[in-house]
Amino acid sequence: MLHAKVVDITKEKIELSKAEKFIASSKCGALIYFVGTVRDLNNDKKVTGMTYDSHDALVIKSFEEIYQDSLKKFKFDNIAVFIEHIKGKIQLGDISILIAVACKHRNQAYELSRFFIEEIKKKTPIWKKEHYENEDSEWLEGNPIQTK
C-alpha cells in the first residue's frame, strides 16, 4: 500500500499525523518515520532556507517504481509506505521529506525505510536551492538521475 505526493508549500505542509493514519495497521508491529529537515550549515555556509524544485509527474512515477522495486526486492507482506516531498521554499527546521513505513518486524521496517531514502536520492527528479545569510542562493550540484 503506497501513498505518494508532492506537497506544494504554498498550499499545505507535510504532516506526520496524515502518515500515522495511513500506515496504522494491526498487521504491522514496526513503524518507522524518516523525517528530512533543513539544517543550518552546509559546506561552512550558514543556510537560512531551501527551495525545492520538482518534476511532479516524474517524481510520483519514481516513487511508484521504487515501491514496486521494494516489493520485488524484499518480498515483505502487508507493508504500508507513505512518502511526501515538499516543493517550494521552506525555512530552517521545516520538513522537506517524510517517509513512513509499516512492516511486520523492526528489521524489515529499518531496511525498507533506508531503501526508500537512498533510492529517492538516486532516482527522483527533485532539486535543492540553498539560501544563505548574505541573501545569496545556489542550486546544489546533485548527481545524474539513475533510471534503473
Distance of closest approach, residue 104 Cβ to other proteins, in angstroms: 26
Distance of closest approach, residue 108 Cβ to other proteins, in angstroms: 22
C-alpha cell at 25: 495497521
**CA 78 → CA 23, 28, 110, 125, distances in Å?**
10, 7, 15, 28
117 near other proteins (CB under 8 A)? yes
Nearer of residues 80 and 83 to other proteins, judged by Cβ: 83
144 near other proteins (CB under 8 A)? yes
Distance of closest approach, residue 75 Cβ to other proteins, in angstroms: 26
Nearer of residues 54 and 108 to other proteins, judged by Cβ: 54
Task: By CB under 8 A, name the binding residues for other proteins.
Answer: 36, 52-55, 57-58, 61, 85, 96-97, 117, 120-128, 139-145, 147
